[in-house]
Amino acid sequence: MTPAARVQAAIGCLDRIFAGDAAEQVLTGWARASRYAGSKDRAAVRDHVFDALRCRRSFAALGGGADGRAAMLGALRAAGIPPETLFTGEGHAPAPLSADELAAGRDPEGAEAADLPDWLWQRFRDSLGAEAAAAAEALRHRAPVHLRVNAARLSRDAAISQLAQEGSACRPHPASPTALAVTEGARKLRNSAAYAQGLVELQDAASQAVVDALPLAPGMRVLDFCAGGGGKTLAMAARGGLDLFAHDAAPQRMRDLPARAARAGVQVRLLDPDALAQAGRFDLVLCDVPCSGSGSWRRAPEAKWRLTPERLAELQATQRAILRRAAGLLTGKGVLAYATCSVLSEENTQQIEWFTAQNSSFAAGFAHSWPVCGGTDGFFSAHLRQA
């Protein structure tokens, strides 16, 4: 495919996504229907689409419209590429630009330039203060690729060496002693022996740091209450010596966890809701709660355009319900650990303040935020202990 044909393919995908279809489904469907497209073509179209989703408002302003064509027109202008060099109508290129399209477009301002909805830009500023602009800017760009080294199996230096032999260059990431930042060959990782053997897992460095901060000790009964795919479960298991359990309100989210645990050489017991009721008490319960995902929107940029004030309020109610439920699963000296991949104070510090006000037997101890502009996803975590 020519560069212009890739732009046209992205335009078609974006039109479907802007109409409400899920990006991953659209891209998968396009790839299956476009057997002529090679791996580099598929990667290029995917990059065009996700760049346009991350920068939807600013590209719309620059392109002078709200459809896929305007988004790609704005993307080219943002990159300093004369759009008429690709919008030629030749072969599979986009049709030539009209006089109106050539004249349209303006510099984005305010929330447009931050690529956030107006209501959400205000929440960002309220939550992050002077860091709001830097956080919004970070979310406009592709996320870094991080790995967690399975320290129970090999050292970080050994992992770097093995991955280099397989074509992926990495360096230590300062957020966690098990974290690697991938600097080259990220697309080769899933086919690497190191990944297949469970020596490394894809996991953001801040997500690893959340686990590093947990006050874990050998012999503890530990529950990952909102386990999902099990990334933090496996990170805890790598610490060793834990009686470890995983639960999710939607057990199907954990369907790959047994295979991943076996690959990593660790043991985790999965609990469905009925089994959880019979499982007894725990020394530590981690609640990595459902949230806006605002700290990881560069990985899933559709989410920031679909979040509404009403949906945010629903998430806050769910978070509070989880805290109440998890608190009842603790031993008398147990630790309730709360975590989100959000940068919004309504989901973070305000929830901890609400919980301690409602439950005087608990006191907040450790609390930390990992900023999205600091080279990781944005995360928050706090530990609550019974006084």
- How far apart are the C-alpha atoms of 376 and 204, rounded to whole Å? 7
Cα distances (Å, whole numbers) of residue 282 to 223, 224, 313, 335: 7, 10, 29, 9
3-class DSSP state of 91 = coil
Nearest partner of 379 among 207, 153, 217, judged by Cα: 207
- CA–CA gap between residue 33 and residue 29 (Å, rounded): 6
Alpha-carbon span 353 to 365, nearest angstrom = 12
Cα radius of gyration rounded to whole Å, the chain: 23
Element (H, E) at 124: helix 118-128
CA-CA distance, 146 to 152, in Å (whole number)?
18
CA-CA-CA-CA dihedral for 72, 77, 82, 83, to nearest 10: 20
Active site residue 341: yes
Which of the following is catalytic: 13, 55, 170, 341?
Answer: 341
* Tally of CB atoms within 10 A around 250: 9
Contacts of 43 (CB under 8 A, 6+ apart): 187
The Cα–Cα gap between 200 and 81 comes to: 39
Residue whose C-alpha is closest to residue 376's, from 180, 121, 161: 180
Active site residues: 341
